[in-house]
Homo-oligomer: A and B are copies of this chain.
């Protein structure tokens, strides 16, 4: 077919109205976000965890984690921080979250997170766990 459009238009960053367009945009941008995270991990060795909940009734959850969401989240919550620099300005908050009783990570979880960053394969290997739609 003859191409009619002149390509993308600038979009304002406000909540989208059209539901089906929003679903497509969510998919595309979520994949883009995970790809960026993957690149940042590879380029800089930064450890990254991302959790995304889709809105509304669908309410699926997607996640990205290198080396794993749970490991990083545990560390974020303070269970794995060393006792140094206890006078840092946020550390009292972090300490407040220690010893919350979380256990180690299911291996199965990690496996699903691992097979990432194979150039164009981003968006294929993400964890999806929903309860609707």
Interface size on A, residues (CB 8 A): 67
Q: Which of A88-125 contact B (CB under 8 A)?
A: 88-91, 93-94, 96-97, 100-103, 106, 108-109, 112, 117
- Shortest beta-carbon distance from A25 to chain B in Å: 6
A81 with B131: CB separation less than 8 A: yes
B47 with A55: CB separation less than 8 A: yes
Could you name 26 residue pairs across A and B whose Cβ atoms are closer than 8 Å? A13-B42, A15-B42, A15-B43, A22-B43, A22-B45, A26-B43, A29-B40, A29-B44, A32-B36, A36-B36, A44-B55, A47-B52, A51-B73, A61-B75, A61-B76, A70-B97, A73-B73, A84-B131, A88-B130, A89-B129, A90-B127, A93-B109, A94-B129, A96-B106, A100-B101, A101-B101
